[in-house]
A and B are shown apart, each in its own frame.
Chain A
Amino acid sequence: MDFVAILSIFVLACFVGYYVVWSVTPALHTPLMAVTNAISSVIIVGALIAAAASGSPGSKWLGLLGVVLASVNIFGGFAVTARMLAMYKKKERSAGAAKH
């Protein structure tokens, strides 16, 4: 892809990001950080390419290490986000709230 095409995607995505993130409710800012963390580990794509390529053993091992790190982040990030989101509950109406 040529540079201008990529740059266009990037600039437009920044605008999308701007509007989407402002619409996130402040109560969910911690899960937002956790999930952005998980998705930024899409860098694993680069690590996989490096690890799969032949020709440079150094590059391959760095790639593999990168895959491990990114994978920790992907699984850890999504799992911890899911765990947090599961805790947010709406008020139970009458029945449950009355007795303790």
Chain B
Amino acid sequence: MQHVAVNPWVALAYLVSGVCFILALRGLSSPTTSQRGNRLGMIGMAIAVVTTLATHVPLRNLASPLGNPHDLRIDWLTLVELLAAIAIGAVIGLTVARRIAMTAMPQLVAAFHSLVGLAAVLVGIAAYLNPVAFGIADLVTPMIGQPFAVIHPASRVEMALGVAIGAITFSGSVIAFLKLNGTMGGKPILLPQRHLVNLATLAAIVALIAYFTQDQSPFVFWAIVGLSFSIGFLLIIPIGGADMPVVVSMLNSYSGWAAAAMGFTLGNTAMIVTGALVGSSGAILSYIMCRAMNRSFLSVIAGGFGAVAGGDAGPAIDRPWKRGSAEDAAFLMREAEQVVIVPGYGMAVAQAQHVLREMADRLKEAGVRVKYAIHPVAGRMPGHMNVLLAEANVPYDDVFELDDINSEFSQTDVAFVIGANDVTNPAAKTDRTSPIYGMPVLDVERAKTVLFIKRSMGGVGYAGVDNELFYRDNTMMLLADAKKMVEEIVKALG
């Protein structure tokens, strides 16, 4: 039990680190305090790491394995290995963070989640293999044979939970990464009997964890690990691309719960506080995303959305619509008093954010008021559009959330929809049969004119429904690649 921290200063240090993490999140309440918050987060992490290194200095016994426990020396080799491991991680992490494109942020976050999950699994396995070092077991010396470690039943539950949640986080995040990265198609993959298989697997994991408290033999432990990895894959595979904001938030939450479970195992305040913070953060973000789509969390997790509806959308009825040119768009916007830009995932795909800001600058020079309206589920992760606009140097006080801007569309001359579709569909308000009925949408159709950039008239949005908006009298379709169209508008604005 020599590794259990009993020193109150150590417990206090972990507490300080936990408080730093709380303040780090608190800082994000406004862009002005956010950078200070981030620095506090780094300080908190440094305190946690240094405290652990100081209290768990690797030691080795020079005399003999059973010698005097006070005759311990610092094991410099292991210490160097530890620092080298941190350094390797630092180099990889910093390189990736510096090089990653802002449009690739959802993939990056998913990849990072998978690392937390895998780290939790590794820690759990290490704790299982060497429970005495973690202070979670009693050594029992039988009459005959080697002494063996009996892990405390409570620790077994915490450990098994940590490993299971970590494994689900890992495999789920890998799938989310592949889908967001385009390596794997965004369409839901529906396996036969998937609900049954998933429920059975989950039930088996719960049962095994219960059994693990009675029997700590390896096969139970490894079965939990194996089943948890597979349920992570199975759960995320049937979920479509545009539901990824919910999935990424959910996995964010899981990575927190995994850390918390490990914190219980180690009795570590910093880990428990962090786990609770991250767990609730992810849960709240998932809730916000679900609410913004008017769908229950369960329906998102059950998956398959967009797979069926996309198929039977069938040939759209030939309805009249208006097509405009870049020159028309430029003319309309230059004459406008207020233009509201509605960006969506298509803007990110086309990398159109920089040229879009250029267009906004030209309009501002011409005396037009330009605002941006962001739907909570625009893009592939919460806040995705805000980051892209910030990257393009759009001031954040020009960017508005759905609730703050929706009443303004009726006083807007031009609504400029670029790369968004379902979030502007008025059918969500009127058509009870529509799959997106009840979803809060941006009231773009109230603007005098709607300019809608779309690649072609053929495709439908993620929900697989035709957009009512295209056929309105006040809508003008700009059919082209988003970036190319905006470039032409900029040229036409002169």
Given contacts A40-B256, A51-B81, A67-B85, contact A16 B387 (CB under 8 A): no
Do the beta carbons of A20 and B116 come within 8 Å of each other?
no
Distance from A5 Cβ to chain B, minimum over Cβ atoms (Å): 9
Nearest first, the 4 A-B pairs at minimum CB distance are A71-B89, A29-B383, A76-B93, A53-B133
Residue of B nearest to A41 (CB): B116
Given contacts A25-B29, A55-B130, A72-B93, contact A49 B52 (CB under 8 A): yes
From the candidates A13, A53, A62, A80, name the one contacting B3 in the complex (CB within 8 A).
A53
**CB neighbors of B among A26-76 (8 A):** 26-56, 58-60, 62-76
Which residues in A have their C-beta under 8 angstroms from that of B42?
78
Q: Which interface residue of A28, A39, A44, A63 has the most chain B CB atoms within 10 A?
A: A39
Do the beta carbons of B115 and A55 come within 8 Å of each other?
no
Q: How far is the CA of A51 from the CA of B109 in the complex (A)?
A: 26
Give the B-binding residues of A (Cβ under 8 A).
1, 3, 6, 9-11, 13-14, 16-18, 20-56, 58-60, 62-92, 97-98, 100
Given contacts A40-B255, A67-B89, A75-B97, contact A46 B271 (CB under 8 A): yes
Besides A72-B93, A75-B97, 16 other CB < 8 A contacts? A1-B267, A22-B284, A26-B382, A35-B38, A40-B258, A44-B49, A47-B119, A51-B78, A64-B85, A66-B126, A76-B97, A81-B38, A84-B105, A85-B35, A91-B395, A100-B365
Given contacts A1-B267, A39-B277, A50-B126, contact A83 B93 (CB under 8 A): no
Do the beta carbons of A52 and B56 come within 8 Å of each other?
yes
Do the beta carbons of A42 and B267 come within 8 Å of each other?
no
Q: Which interface residue of A36, A54, A91 has the most chain B CB atoms within 10 A?
A: A36
B88 contacts the other chain (CB 8 A)? yes
Residue of A nearest to B257 (CB): A40
Given contacts A31-B383, A48-B53, A91-B397, contact A56 B270 (CB under 8 A): no
Do the beta carbons of A35 and B258 come within 8 Å of each other?
no
Do the beta carbons of A46 and B262 come within 8 Å of each other?
yes
What's the count of A-B pairs with C-beta under 8 Å?
396
Do the beta carbons of A80 and B100 come within 8 Å of each other?
yes
Do the beta carbons of A51 and B82 come within 8 Å of each other?
yes
| CB 8 Å contact bits of B25-65 with A (1 = contact, 0 = none) | 11011111011011001101100110011001111110000
Residue of B nearest to A28 (CB): B28
Q: How far is the CA of A21 from the CA of B332 in the complex (A)?
A: 41
B252 contacts the other chain (CB 8 A)? yes
Q: How far is the CA of A52 from the CA of B82 in the complex (A)?
A: 8
From the candidates A18, A27, A38, A41, name the one contacting B119 in the complex (CB within 8 A).
A41
B interface secondary structure, majority = helix
B295 contacts the other chain (CB 8 A)? no
From the candidates A25, A52, A56, A100, name the one contacting B78 in the complex (CB within 8 A).
A52
Do the beta carbons of A9 and B52 come within 8 Å of each other?
no
Which residues in B have their C-beta under 8 angstroms from that of A46?
120, 123, 126-127, 134, 262, 265-266, 268, 271
Q: How far is the CA of A84 from the CA of B386 in the complex (A)?
A: 10
Residue of A nearest to B398 (CB): A91
Q: How far is the CA of A76 from the CA of B97 in the complex (A)?
A: 5
B396 contacts the other chain (CB 8 A)? yes
Given contacts A39-B24, A55-B133, contact A20 B264 (CB under 8 A): no
Q: How far is the CA of A63 from the CA of B262 in the complex (A)?
A: 13
Q: How far is the CA of A91 from the CA of B400 in the complex (A)?
A: 14
Task: Choose the segment among B15-23, B198-206, B414-422, B476-484 that binds chain A (4+ C-beta atoms closer than 8 Å).
Answer: B15-23
B282 contacts the other chain (CB 8 A)? yes
Q: Which interface residue of A87, A89, A92 has the most chain B CB atoms within 10 A?
A: A87
Residue of A nearest to B30 (CB): A25
Do the beta carbons of A87 and B387 come within 8 Å of each other?
yes
Which residues in A have their C-beta under 8 angstroms from that of B278?
17, 36-37, 39-40
Which residues in A have their C-beta under 8 angstroms from that of B28?
24-25, 28, 31-32, 35
Q: How far is the CA of A6 from the CA of B265 in the complex (A)?
A: 10
